[in-house]
Chains A and B, each alone.
Chain A
Amino acid sequence: MKTVKSPFKFSGGVHPDYNKELAREQPIERMPLPAELVISMSQHLGAPAKCLVKAGDFVKRGQVVGEKNGFISVCVRASASGKVKAVEKRLGPAGGKADAIILDTAAKPEGEQEPENGPILQPLDWKTASREDLLKRIEEAGICGMGGAGFPTSVKLNPPPGKRCEYLVLNGAECEPYLTADYRVMLEKAPRIRLGVEIMRKILGGPAVRIAIEANKPEAIKAMEAAFADIDGNVEIVVLPVLYPQGSEKHQIYATVGRIVPEPPALPIDVGCVVENVGTVAAIADAVELGEPLLERVTTVSGDAVATPKNILAPCGTKYSDLVAFCGGEKTPPAKVISGGTMMGFAVSTLEISTTKTTSGLLLLSPKRVTQYVSQACINCGRCVRACPMCLNAAEIAKAVESDDIKAAEDAHVMSCIECGACSFSCPAYRPITQFCRRAKNSIRARMAAEKAKAAAAAKK
C-alpha cells in the first residue's frame, strides 16, 4: 500500500466556497428514533420497489417492505419496527412523487414479546462465502450507491460477461460544498471500509484498488493509510487536487487510473473500472459481516441557518424536520433548503420530505447565502467552456436550448453533460446553463423513449 499524488488533472473545474468547517469536526451522532418515518419505495436509481405492506400492518426493523422490481432496482427494508399508518404518494427530494410507507415507530402489536436482538440477516464469513453469496447478500441488504446517484450496487459489482474490473476506485473525494458525511465515515469507520474493500475485491476477482481522497482532507488520508497499512495486493491511496467536480465518477477514474470513459451510454466498466462511494463500501462490510442491511446512513445537516451543524446517523426515512430539530432547530429562518450539496443538490419546498439511502446532506441557507439572479444575455466570455469538466461548449448549448433548438444542443454533445453546475457557477451573466442542459437532456431522453416505444410497436405488428 502506498500513497501517491494524482498524476492526471482533468481540464476545467471550479473552486466553490467549501464551507466544510461548519460540520467537519462534528463526530457522527446517532439520532433517537423519530416518532414517524416516511420510507420511500424510490430511494435508488431505477425502478421503484414494489410495496409489500398496507395500512395497519405491523413491520419489524429490517423486514422487506418493498420488493426489488426489475434488474436495475433494489429492495427496501423497514428502517424501524412499527405500524404502517398509510401507504401513499409522497414528495421526494428531487421533486417527484413516489409510494411511501408512513410508519408509526411507537406502535407495537398487542402482546408482543421483547424484540429479539439477533442479526437481521445471517452474518457471512466473506473468506469462505462464494462470490454469488456475497453478491446476493449485497442485493438483499438493499444496498445502492450512497454518493448520490443510488445505482444498485449488486448490479455494479456484477459486470456483464466479457467485461472485467481491473480497478476498484473508492470515491472519498466528497467535492460538494458543506458535505462532510463521507469525511466522517472515512475518519471513524476506516476499518469497516477496509473490510468492504476486501469483500468487493473478492467479488470483482481481485482488481487493483485506488482510494481517491481530495488533498484538503489530510486527516481522512491518515485514517485510511492506517487502516490499509498492512493490506496486500495493489492498493494505492491517490491524493487528488482540490477541484470541483473531483468526485464525478468519470473524472475520478481519470484522476486515479488515467483512463477516459467514452461518451454515454458507455459506463466505467467499459474501461475496466468500478467506482464506489466510501459510505457504500462500509455498508457492504456491515451487510456481510454483521448481517445488517442498509437501514441508516450518515447525513450532514449544515448551513448557516441551522443551530448546530451535525453529521447525523439516521434511519432512512427520517423527515428533514426531525433532522433539523435534532440539530437544535433553525438559527434563522432559512431562505433555501437544499437536499444534497450546493452544486448539485435539490432545492426543496418543505421540510416534510424524508431522507433516502442517497441523502448525503441537508443544507439550510439564510437569505445572506442565497442570491436570486436575473439571467442576462450571453457575452461569449467562455468561462463556462473553460469551467466545463466535460469540455463541452456550454454557451452554445445554452443558446441552442434558449431558442428551442434541441437538435443543435444534441450535436454539441449535451448528453455528455454531468450536470455538475460548474458552468452556471462561473457565468457572469447568471445564465442558468446547467438548467438549459437538463432541459435538453430530458427532451432528448423523452424523444428517445418515444422512438423506442414506436419501434417496439412496429416490431409487434
Chain B
Amino acid sequence: MKPKETAAHYILSSSPHTHSNSSVSRIMLDVILALLPTTAVGIWFFGMAAVWTIAVCVSTCIVTEALCRLAMKRENTIGDLSAVVTGLLLALNLPAGIPLWMAVVGSVFAIGVAKQVFGGIGMNPFNPALAARAFMLISFTGPMTTWLKPICHCKCSAEAGVVDALTTATPLAAMKGMFTAEATASATPHAHKAIEQIPSLWNMLIGNMPGCIGEVSALALALGAAYLIWRKVITWHIPAAFIVTVFVYSLIAGGAPAYAQVLTGGVMIGACFMATDYVTSPITAKGKLIFGFGCGLLCMLIRQFGSYPEGCSFAILIMNAVCPLINRWTQPKPFGAK
C-alpha cells in the first residue's frame, strides 16, 4: 500500500506553536479594572461632575483613535482598549468640574497628537494622558487648578450634601509654603495655617480632600496597584522607587510630613499608573528603578523649587524623555556574557 500525497493544508508557522494567551487588550482591561476603585472614590467625592468628565474623556479618546486610524489608513485599534485607558487616566488626572469642552480638547490632544501622530500604540515617546494634562495645565491654567471640595457625606456637617463648593487650594499648595516657612521659623502663623490645611491622614487615605478626580484616594490607588502587580501587569520597581524617593526626599528636606507628600497630589496615581506605562518606561528591572527614582526626585524638586505646587506630571514626562537613554544604560547582561 502506497500512501497518497496528502491533500491536507496544514498551517505552517515558525515555532513556538503555543502561546501564553496574554494579550494587549487583556492587559488594558486589567488596567481599567485596577482603576475602578479610584474611579468609584472620585465619583463618590466629586459627584456627577466626575461622571461627566470621565464619560467625555473616554468617549472622545475612542472616537479620536478611530478617526485617526481611519485618516491614516491603518487598521482600527480601538479594540485593544488602550484608548479607553488613556481617556480614563486623563479624566482621573483632571479636576472635577472642568468645562467639558476643555476635556474634549485634552482628549483629542492625548490621542491625536501625543499618540497617533507618532504611529499609535507602542510608538509614543510620552505618556499620552500626561502629555494632554500638561498641555491643558498650560493652556487652561485657571480651570485646571480650580478644585471642587469633596462632597461631605456625613450628615452632621453644615456643608453636608454641598456639591459645587469651589476652592483653589489643594493641600499641595499649602505644603509648598511649608518648605520655606519651616526654614525661617517653625512657629510662624503662616506655617500654622498651612498645617491646618493638610487633611488628616485618614482623609488622605480615603481621598476626602480637594484634588483631581482619581488622585485623591491613596487606598483605592494602592488597591489597584496591588491588583496590577498580582496580575503581573506591572512590577513593583517603578512605584516603589518613586514613592520611596518622594518619602526620603521629604524627610531630608523637611516641610510637610513625608507621608503627606506621598499621599497628596499625583504621586500615588503617578507612581502606580502613569509612570508604569509600558511604552514610556524602561524595560529592565534596573532601568525601572532608575526611572522611578528620577520621577520621585524631579517631582520633589518641582514641588520645592518650581513654580507649580504639583510636580508629578512634569517629572514623569521628563523621565519619559530620558527613558530611551535609561534603556541604553541598562541593557540586560546575556547569560554567559562577560
Contact = CB atoms under 8 A, between A and B. Distances in A.
Interface stretch (B41-49, B139-147, B214-222, B277-285): B277-285
A434 B15 contact: yes
5 contacts: A262-B336, A379-B24, A379-B27, A391-B332, A425-B19
B16 A335 contact: no
Contacts of A11: 335
A29 B141 CA distance: 79
Contacts of B331: 393, 396, 412
Given A372-B13, A380-B278, 8 more contacts: A260-B335, A349-B12, A378-B122, A388-B332, A392-B332, A416-B336, A429-B24, A432-B13
B121 to A, nearest CB: 5
A392 B283 CA distance: 11
A428 interface: yes
A371 B10 CA distance: 12
A390 B24 contact: no
A435 B278 contact: no
Interface stretch (A160-168, A225-233, A336-344): A336-344
A262 B338 contact: yes
B328 to A, nearest CB: 10
A380 B283 contact: yes
B189 interface: no
B18 A425 contact: yes
Contact of B22 (A250, A377, A426, A438): A426
A346 B336 contact: no
B314 to A, nearest CB: 22
B196 interface: no
B17 A381 contact: no
A159 interface: no
Nearest to B333: A391
Given A11-B335, A379-B122, A434 B16 contact: yes
Of the candidates B3, B120, B123, the one having the most CB atoms from chain A within 10 angstroms of its own CB is B3
Contacts of A430: 19, 23
B337 interface: yes
Interface of B: 1-3, 5-6, 8, 10-20, 22-24, 26-27, 80, 119-123, 278-279, 281, 283-284, 327, 331-338
A453 interface: no
| Secondary structure class of chain B's binding surface, majority of residues | loop
A326 interface: no
Nearest to A423: B16
B14 A335 contact: no
Contacts of A147: none
B1 A35 contact: yes
Contacts of B332: 385, 388, 391-393
Contacts of A383: 22
Given A391-B333, A392-B334, A336 B24 contact: no
A365 interface: yes
B221 to A, nearest CB: 21
A428 B26 contact: yes
Contacts of B14: 347, 432, 434-435, 438
Given A177-B18, A334-B10, A344-B16, A395 B283 contact: yes
Contact of B334 (A347, A373, A390): A390
Contacts of B19: 371, 373, 424-425, 430
A370 B11 contact: yes
Size range of the chain A interface in the assembly: 35 or more
A-B pairs, top 6 by smallest CB distance, nearest first, are A421-B16, A377-B122, A435-B14, A428-B22, A342-B18, A382-B283
A343 to B, nearest CB: 5
B191 to A, nearest CB: 45
A345 interface: yes
A347 B15 contact: yes
Contacts of A319: 3
A377 B24 CA distance: 10
Interface string A417-456: 0010110111111101011001000000000000000000
Interface of A: 10-11, 14, 16-17, 35-36, 177, 250, 254, 260-263, 266, 319, 321-322, 333-338, 340, 342-352, 363, 365, 370-373, 376-383, 385, 388-393, 395-396, 412-413, 416, 419, 421-422, 424-430, 432, 434-435, 438
Contacts of A377: 119-123
Given A261-B336, A365-B17, A390-B335, A347 B11 contact: yes
Contacts of A334: 8, 10
Contact of B16 (A261, A370, A425): A425
Contacts of A336: 10-11, 13, 17
Contacts of A393: 283-284, 331-332
Contacts of B80: 376
B17 A352 contact: no
Contacts of A381: 27, 278
Contact of A413 (B17, B283, B334): B334
B81 to A, nearest CB: 12
Contacts of B122: 376-380, 429
Contact of B10 (A321, A335, A380, A424): A335
Contacts of A263: 334, 336-338
Of the candidates B2, B17, B24, B331, the one having the most CB atoms from chain A within 10 angstroms of its own CB is B17
B15 A343 contact: yes
Nearest to B330: A393
B18 A321 contact: no
A14 B278 CA distance: 20
Contacts of B278: 379-382
A48 B300 CA distance: 67
B20 A425 contact: yes
Nearest to A422: B16
Of the candidates B13, B26, B333, the one having the most CB atoms from chain A within 10 angstroms of its own CB is B13
Contacts of A350: 5-6, 8, 10
Contacts of B15: 340, 342-347, 419, 421, 424, 434
A424 B17 CA distance: 9
Contact of B336 (A321, A342, A390): A390
A302 B2 CA distance: 24
Nearest to A382: B283
B279 A426 contact: no
B316 to A, nearest CB: 15
Nearest to B13: A347
A22 B23 CA distance: 28
Contact of B8 (A16, A333, A390, A392): A333
Contacts of A35: 1-2
Contacts of A372: 11, 13
Contacts of A250: 335-336
Contact of B335 (A10, A342, A378): A10
A319 to B, nearest CB: 7
Nearest to A370: B11
A350 B8 CA distance: 7
B336 A428 contact: no
A342 B11 contact: no
Contacts of B3: 319, 321-322, 351-352
B310 to A, nearest CB: 27
